[in-house]
């Protein structure tokens, strides 16, 4: 299929499913446990309906806004995702390049295949680095120093992975980077010639931010045991304050799903928070991100906080972006939507995913009677289709800080 005939993110998903090894496609396209939250992230967006307006001048439209004070061509950033370089050889580099050319931010995961230094060497725009809090504090501090040296412009602290969610497909597939040479894996790889050929052309096939940098992790044999032990279940808001001071720059906290935690994120000095349930890959049975958004927006506004509120999880179209902005988000992040494009066509696929989201958001905004994304609000939503996604009045448990 030619890129010009790709008309929706779903097209990219189907192609990626055909091209990717099963374990990596399943890693992208699955949630934890029963996958209820994973599914609701999308279906709750579908329930929200838009009001069509007519006889409105639709000329001069703009999706341009800012995220953390930086101009962006639309209120969308590429989310930090693990194993990105297993979707396409050197995947993080290709995705970062596509984001830079399109004028949106790129975020690099701690669990990336390409290292911080790899991405910095192949891009010119500053990118964001996402940090998992590890038990090895020196390794974590060194990650922060490496991000500073690479001129990363913001640090994303992921708050919802103190313990790993029960991800059934990953367990059954024996997810690893690179794939373990089992009979099942080898048979599956034989059906993915393009992926195999691309991977033969790179040496980046494991976690570049960890191997050779973490203590006692010099090769693949020691990596698995290290990662299984390293996520820190004792992470607290005091740790966040120390990380903020060590970093010294813009701080984003990802994984906020309750107003109480949003207020704490603001009080600890975060510049932005991301309403996110980790794409439905952590607590199954949690609300969708779009369902959690409105209460969090109201809570931080009631506190008169300047913290920016963004949304992640479930966005598959430009209409989803528009609905999130209408519900109070000032920015959004996409994960699966760009990974499908990367797995299907590499850098060109990421670019196409961004084009699709931009066009869908732009045209839908026009039909709703707006020409400036910064002026969009709940007036574009059909009453009765979104009120159930918020509480009225908002209730926030008092917090002793």
Instruction: With beta carbons less than 8 A apart as the criterion, state whether 20 and 192 touch.
Output: yes
Q: How far apart are CA 124 and CA 144, in angstroms?
A: 19
* Among 281, 362, 349, residue whose Cα is nearest residue 321: 362
Q: Which of 122, 168, 278, 370 is catalytic?
A: 278
Instruction: With beta carbons less than 8 A apart as the criterion, state whether 77 and 106 touch.
Output: yes
H/E stretch holding 253 reads strand 250-256
For 202-218, give the DSSP string: -S--S-TTTTTTSTT-S
Instruction: With beta carbons less than 8 A apart as the criterion, state whether 262 and 296 touch.
Output: yes
Any catalytic annotation for residue 94? no
Q: How far apart are CA 193 and CA 290, in angstroms?
A: 38
Q: How far apart are CA 92 and CA 80, in angstroms?
A: 10
Instruction: With beta carbons less than 8 A apart as the criterion, state whether 160 and 261 touch.
Output: no
Length of the chain: 401
* Among 324, 319, 400, residue whose Cα is nearest residue 363: 319
Q: Mapping DSSP to helix (H, G, I), strand (E, B) and coil, where does residue 174 land?
A: coil
The residues carrying an active-site annotation are 278
């Amino acid at each position: 299929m030619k890129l010009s005939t790709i008309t929706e993110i779903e097209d990219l998903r189907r192609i990626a499913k055909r091209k990717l090894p099963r374990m990596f496609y399943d890693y992208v396209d699955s949630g934890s446990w029963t996958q209820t939250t994973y599914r609701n992230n999308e279906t709750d967006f579908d329930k929200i309906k838009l009001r069509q307006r007519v006889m409105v001048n639709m000329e001069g439209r703009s999706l341009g806004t800012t995220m953390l004070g930086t101009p962006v061509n639309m209120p969308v950033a590429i989310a930090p995702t693990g194993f990105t370089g297993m979707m396409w050889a050197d995947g993080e580099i290709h995705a970062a390049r596509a984001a830079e050319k399109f004028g949106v931010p790129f975020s690099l995961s701690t669990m990336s295949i390409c290292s911080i230094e790899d991405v910095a060497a192949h891009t010119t725009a500053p990118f964001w680095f996402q940090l998992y809090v590890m038990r090895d504090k020196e390794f974590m501090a060194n990650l922060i120093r490496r991000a500073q040296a690479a001129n990363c412009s913001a640090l994303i602290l992921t708050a919802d992975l103190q313990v790993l969610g029960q991800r059934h497909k990953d367990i059954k597939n024996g997810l690893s980077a690179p794939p373990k040479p089992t009979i099942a894996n080898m048979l599956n790889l034989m059906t993915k010639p393009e992926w195999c050929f691309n991977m033969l052309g790179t040496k980046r096939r494991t976690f570049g931010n960890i191997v050779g940098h973490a203590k006692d992790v010099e090769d693949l044999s020691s990596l698995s045991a290290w990662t299984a032990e390293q996520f820190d279940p004792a992470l607290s808001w005091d740790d966040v304050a120390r990380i903020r001071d060590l970093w010294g720059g813009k701080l984003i906290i990802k994984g906020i799903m309750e107003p109480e935690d949003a207020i704490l994120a603001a009080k600890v000095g975060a510049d932005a928070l991301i309403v996110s349930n980790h794409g439905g890959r952590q607590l199954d049975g949690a609300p969708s991100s779009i369902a959690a958004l409105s209460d969090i927006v109201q809570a931080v506004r009631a506190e008169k906080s300047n913290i920016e509120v963004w949304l992640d999880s479930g966005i598959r179209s430009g209409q989803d972006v528009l609905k999130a902005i209408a519900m109070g988000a000032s920015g959004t992040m996409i994960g699966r939507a760009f990974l499908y494009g990367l797995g299907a066509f590499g850098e060109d696929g990421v670019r196409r995913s961004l084009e699709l989201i931009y066009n869908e958001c732009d045209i839908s905004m026009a039909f709703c009677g707006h020409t400036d994304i910064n002026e969009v609000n709940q007036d574009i939503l059909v009453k009765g289709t979104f009120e159930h996604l918020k509480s009225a009045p908002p209730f926030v448990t008092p917090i002793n800080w």
